[in-house]
Amino acid sequence: MIKYFLMKQGFESGGMVLYPESICPCQSARQYKDCIKVLEREMKRIRKLTPTECERLQGFPTDLTKYGKTEEGKIYKISDTQRYKMCGNAVSSNVSKTILESLIPDQVNVMSLFSGCGGTEAKLDERFTIIGHCEIDKYAQDVLRFNHPNVPIYPNVVDLANQTDIIETRFDLLTFGYPCQDISISGKQLGEAGQRSSLVYQVVEIARKYRPKYIFAENVKNHLSVKHEAFFLRVLTAFSELGYNLDFEVVNSKDYSLAQNRERVFIFGKLND
């Protein structure tokens, strides 16, 4: 079903964005196919959201996903299809900024897993220094390389978990929006048996090995459903057994000055002193 929303000039970031009272439904990685369409009242036309508008709905800095840089150093424009996918898969920057800056008072080095286009860390203040990204998607890697030219990119979370001392710089905060494909209502509902969402246990091994002071995770609200709550509790237990005091909460992007109805569960943990 096509959903229509009124547009106007200037909501938070400026430009063509949704009316605050006309909240956009949750973006997905299939936005390039199942696009949300909008009704421009003044122009009397219907069109789909642009990649830039999708970025604004996630609270990204302007043009976060617009350019990429290859390993050979070539700079190029990212296709709209890939930009839609990255926006749909990402963590809303306003949400992660508010949570992390309120809970972490000190200067920290950040290691980002399942980084995507870098939405989790995109708006963090100067107290947060990114020392590494782990991302398998080629286009997301190129976006990260363009925006963070001096930050190493590790392509495989399994290698980080199984090999010793790959990450050379000490980090204090481990962020990870682990894959939701096996948990999401739009997926096959394989849960813990799926090959993607179960990669969170590789993160447990990385935390065991490097012992960061803080962890910060994100996933879909459906992780708390009857079908997947046992998996969620096992994830919490795994980190708790490493010595982390944990809290979790479902939050909605629309409560963080974003015109998107995007509910996600966030986990925050601090290592016992």
Q: What is the Cα–Cα distance from 15 to 243, expressed in whole angstroms?
A: 46
Nearest alpha carbon to residue 26 among 62, 60, 58: 58
Q: What is the Cα–Cα distance from 166 to 78, expressed in whole angstroms?
A: 29
Q: What is the Cα–Cα distance from 110 to 98, expressed in whole angstroms?
A: 16
- Rg for the chain, CA atoms, rounded: 18
H-type alpha helices, 32-133: 51-57, 80-89, 93-103
Q: What is the DSSP letter of 61?
A: P
Q: What is the Cα–Cα distance from 258 to 261, expressed in whole angstroms?
A: 8
Q: Is 180 a catalytic residue?
A: yes
Contact of 107 with 127, CB cutoff 8 Å: yes
Q: Which of 54, 117, 134, 180 is catalytic?
A: 180
Q: Which residues are catalytic?
A: 180
